[in-house]
Structures are given as C-alpha cells and as structure tokens.
Amino acid sequence: MGVRKDPIIKRGLDDHLPDLYFVCLQEVKSQPQNVVMDTLFEEPWTSALREIIGPHNYVRITGERLQGIVTNVFVKRQHLPHVRDIHTSVVRTGLGGFWGNKGAASIRFSLYGCSMCIVNCHLAAHDTGYKERVENFNTIVDTTQFPVPETSNILYHDYVFWLGDMNFRFEAHVTSEAIAKHVSEANWSALAEVDELQKAQKSGDAFSMLKEGNLSFPPTYKYLEGTNTYDFSRRPAWTDRILHQVHVDAYENVKLGVEQTSYAPIEVYTQSDHKPIMSSYKIKVFANHEERCVNFQPLGTWVVGEGGPFKFTLDSDVVISPWDYVALYKVDFTSMDQYITYTYLPQPPLGNTTQRTIQLLFNDELLQHPGMYRLVYYSGKYNSYLGMSDPFPVISQS
C-alpha cells in the first residue's frame, strides 16, 4: 500500500478535527507470509494510518487484528492521560468458530468516565447467508468478554460503535435491475424497505438494540475495481454499515447522548469492490473528570546518554503494581508502541502505599539523540496511561 505525499488532512485545521478516530478494516491481506511479517513489523495499513493521522497530534492507543480484520483507535494527544482500562478481544465465527476469516476484533476503553466499545466485524457472505449472519452477530455478542466487571459484555458499555462488512443483502425477490432502478432514482426508502439488516432489527434477530443513521447513499457493494460502476455479477447491497448504541440513563442526574452528524461512503475510493463508509458523531462525556491520575512535575534538561531525574505524584486512588513503568517517547510520538526505553518502578515505593510523590533517575544509554521528549506513566493494573509529562529537552554532552 502506498502513502500519498500530499497531506490528506489540511494543515491548520487540527483544532477542528475529531477527538477520536476509529478505523476499522476488513479483508486486509492475511496470507501466512503477511501475518508473519506483521508480527515482526507494524502492519502496513496501521503504519500508513499513523503517517497520515499522527502528524495532526493523534496517538494510536491500541489496535487489534483477527486475520483480515484490523481495528485501530487514535486519540488526540491531550486526551491520552484520561483514557482508562484499555482491553481488546477477538471472536472467530468462520468454519464454526475455528477460523478467523469471519468474526470480530473489538476494543473497549473509558474516556473521561464514560465507557466505549468499538466492534469491527466481518459477517458471513452471500445472498443465502442471512441466518448465518444473524448467528455471527449473536456469537460475537455472547462470547466477547472484557476483564472489566461493569462492562464485561459489549452491550454493557455507555457507548457502542459497531462497524464492518456486515454482508447483509436485499431480500431475495429484489432483482439487480430493480436495485439499479432505485439507485438511478435515488429512491433510498424503497431499498431500505427490503434491506436485510433492517429486517433483522425489526424482527429482533440481530442489531435490534443498535441504531443507524439514514441510508441516503448508493449500495456500497459490488463495484468493478478502479471504477464507480457496479459489477452485476453480484446484486448491489449496503454491505458496509456503522451502527451505534448509547445508554442515555446510565448515570443518576446525568443524561448521555450521541448525535450522528454525517454518514456517507467515500466515493473517490476505487481500489476495492466495496465503497468504504465513514460516520461522524458527537457524544457526551463528563466534564473535568479526574480519575486515577499521575502528575509529572516539570522536568529540567537531560543529557544524551545519561538521562536525568524526574518526579511525579500519584492521586490517592492510584494503586501501583509491579508492572507499572515510566516510558520515554519523542515529543511527537504517534503510537504507544513507539517508546524509546522505559524503567519499572523500583520495589521500595511498592511496599509503601502512603508514598504519593516518587522521584527517580532515568539513566539509559538508549537515549542517543538530542531533541524534545515526554515521559508517560503506564499502569499494568489498570491497562492505562495515567499521566504524561510536558515536553522537555535532551541536549548533547558538552
């Protein structure tokens, strides 16, 4: 996959960009040689996304892959210390649950006190596959588990965003010619009446607890690759969908909410027989929410090859564990996997739960280049990045 050299996101608009990006892909190359390479090096699509999104002050907090299903979550850098309890899960539904060509790769986390779950799925294909698609959905809901008691199930989260190639078709009696006629007339309501996913929602078979914006665009499948022309070897269908759920009354005296501001295909994309789709949302979270925070004190100047001292304070609700560490990053890092080096918290502070301010010395020869850097505190107990320092300089030895 090549990366465009010209900026896809216009410079100077960073303040108006979303706080979160969920990028969900299906049918990524997953032959054995690709999977092996992706375990040794970053998966190419993920790398390309970082190159495009990262320079606009985004950080990839985590990702998950199930063969050709790839899920990535990016947040604006300033929100990183407020993300909590990051966990991923995969469910295989291909070949009766033994193969990952179909299934889901899901990610859950909390942001400013609200829990979110992103489900990226690829359901069973073909016109005759309605029953199997419904079974796939229910298997994903029933078997996806997260180690967070209050939100162990997908549908227990405050917000759920379910994306993917769901492969639902139009009812069997609708011909390709009839579909083409409705598309030429932009008669989306006629197509919606025979859409199998909406049938599944109305009957309670699947997705009945999730909502979808208006389908006011042409079916996203099947196109002749490289064109905007349908390949009528398959009946066109809205196979690619984005749905959402919100528990409005999850908290006393506070109402959560979601507003879908756009829902449309990316028409200029012609490299696939599908049109990818994109949706934008505004959601409500708790203002000024502070939970389990680590606050770094301003750092002085460090020296290449030597490092320097740093000090941080733990909030009273932070319980440290043997798996907590502080990692060193370049100031413009775009993925949590890009740490240069790290140091675990030493044993003495672990035995003293009353000690809230800790001072350490970071001395590592891996710090080899001058520039601007940051420190990030990772909590193994909470699977979270509890604090991030302000940028500080590292200079060459005099």
Closest CA to 188 of 164, 166, 230, 220: 220
Give mean pLDDT, residues 309-326. Answer: 93
pLDDT digits (tens, 9 = 90+) for 86-135: 999 999 997 776 566 899 999 999 999 999 999 999 999 999 999 999 99
Question: What's the whole-number average pLDDT of the chain?
Answer: 91
Tell me the domain boundaries of the chain: 14-283, 294-395
CA 82/CA 370 separation, integer angstroms: 29
| β-strand partners of 59 | 75
Q: Is there a contact between 371 and 396 (Cβ–Cβ < 8 Å)? A: no
pLDDT digits (tens, 9 = 90+) for 219-277: 999 999 999 999 999 999 999 999 999 999 999 989 999 999 999 999 999 999 999 99
* Superfamily holding 14-283: Endonuclease/exonuclease/phosphatase (3.60.10.10)
Looking at domain 294-395, its CATH architecture is: Sandwich (2.60)
Q: Strand runs (DSSP E) across the chain, as ranges? A: 20-25, 58-66, 69-76, 83-94, 99-111, 114-122, 159-165, 240-246, 258-265, 277-283, 294-296, 302-303, 308-314, 325-330, 341-344, 357-362, 371-379, 384-388, 392-395
Residues contacting 245, CB < 8 A, separation 6+: 155, 159, 160, 162, 209, 210, 211
- Helix and strand numbers (H, E) in the chain are 7, 19
Residue 12: pLDDT band by 50, 70, 90 thresholds?
A: low
pLDDT at 286 over 50: yes
Tokens of 393: 């300089």
| Strand-pair category, 114-122 with 159-165 | parallel
